[in-house]
Chains A and B, each alone.
Chain A
Amino acid sequence: MSTAYTVGLLVAVAGLIIGFMAIVRERDDLHRILLTDLAEVLALVLIALVATDLAEALILPGLVVGISELMAVSEVYIAKEGLQKPHIEPAFHIEVMDSAPGILALILVAYGIVLSGFTGGAVAAVGAVFYFMCRDHAEQFELIETVSGYAWVIWIAAFFIFMFLPQYWLFAVMMAGGAILLKVMAKMSLVGTMRGGSNV
């Protein structure tokens, strides 16, 4: 066990050195973002090397911190460079793109709610992303922000129930499970939709 850990540690730190050397040499801002994201994966490797349930639980916060910082920093990059989404006609337009999104998104979101938890959020998010891809999504975006805020509040409430009223643990688990559904869904719905531009 100990040897395996040492070897893993050496490999991970060697990988980190290579990754950070690349960042030292890189001059382009966009590539720096990408390399930074790569380096963060290696931090998760260091946590995963511990190989306990605790490590598995710690990977989730680590991952989320990386993703959310990436989101904020890339938005700063877009603002900094003044990038605009070009106004081009969609490549093709067919009838099914008008009718399908609503139905499919509904099915996926409903299924996600049944699953609940992390995977449920991902499934529901696929529905939302599909909807946004086919439709204009200016006003829905505000909705996602509101949902994300509520998810945060529910989560905090669940935490306080766990800490101060532990006998209601089942209620708190359900609240947290629902909140993670909303949170993951809100997060994943943003993939590829948050671009610069006038009214996007």
Chain B
Amino acid sequence: MKPNRSVITRISETISRLENLTTLYAFFFVVIAVLGLVTLPFITYHDDQLYPKTIDPNSSLNPYDRGGVPFGTTPVKAQYPENSPYVGYVTTYLTPLSHWLADHTLHIGTTIVAHPGGIIDEILYNTRGLDTVVETSILFVAFAIASYLFRRDN
């Protein structure tokens, strides 16, 4: 503990400690976010969005009803529709069970992620399929790390 250490010595000592890494990174983030806070009011929402949300309260598929004919072409506002010739087929597809539910209740729309088919599946599997592939790979790698550490001693 020498009293006359320079500022640079003290700074380099702080950042060389591994435990301070998180602090340092979070600090960087706070600085950028605070500076960026000023620019936020100038960011305007672009009105012409891809895959816009439409809500039709009378439909039994309520929040997810995107219209269209099952097993027919349905216009979907994708980035490059020409790259996905069958875009829209997944959007309109309902499994037989879901179709029966949609005919008889008003609540199938709330569980649209519960069965294959629908707009979310269209985006996740078809038009932006590569995202999902990477996402699954991340899960797979994390799983491999965790299970390796978990079972190492057995």
Binding site for B on A (CB under 8 A): 1-2, 5-6, 9-10, 13-14, 16-17, 20-21, 23-24, 27, 32, 50-54, 56-58, 60-61, 64-65, 67-69, 71-72, 74-76, 78-79, 114-120, 138, 141-142, 145, 148-149, 151-152, 155-156, 158-159, 162-163, 166-167, 169-170, 172-174, 176-177, 179, 183, 186-187, 190, 194, 196, 198-199
Can you give 18 A-B contacts (C-beta < 8 A)? A13-B33, A20-B30, A52-B53, A53-B53, A54-B49, A57-B124, A61-B131, A72-B145, A75-B149, A120-B114, A141-B147, A141-B150, A148-B139, A149-B140, A156-B136, A177-B121, A186-B143, A198-B154
B119-150: which residues lie under 8 A (CB-CB) from chain A? 119-121, 123-126, 128-143, 145-147, 149-150
CB atoms of B130 and A159 under 8 A apart: yes
Chain B residues with Cβ below 8 Å from A71 are 142-143, 146
Binding site for A on B (CB under 8 A): 19, 22-23, 26-27, 29-30, 33-34, 36-37, 40-41, 43-45, 47, 49-53, 66, 84-86, 89-90, 93, 95, 97, 111, 113-117, 119-121, 123-126, 128-143, 145-147, 149-154
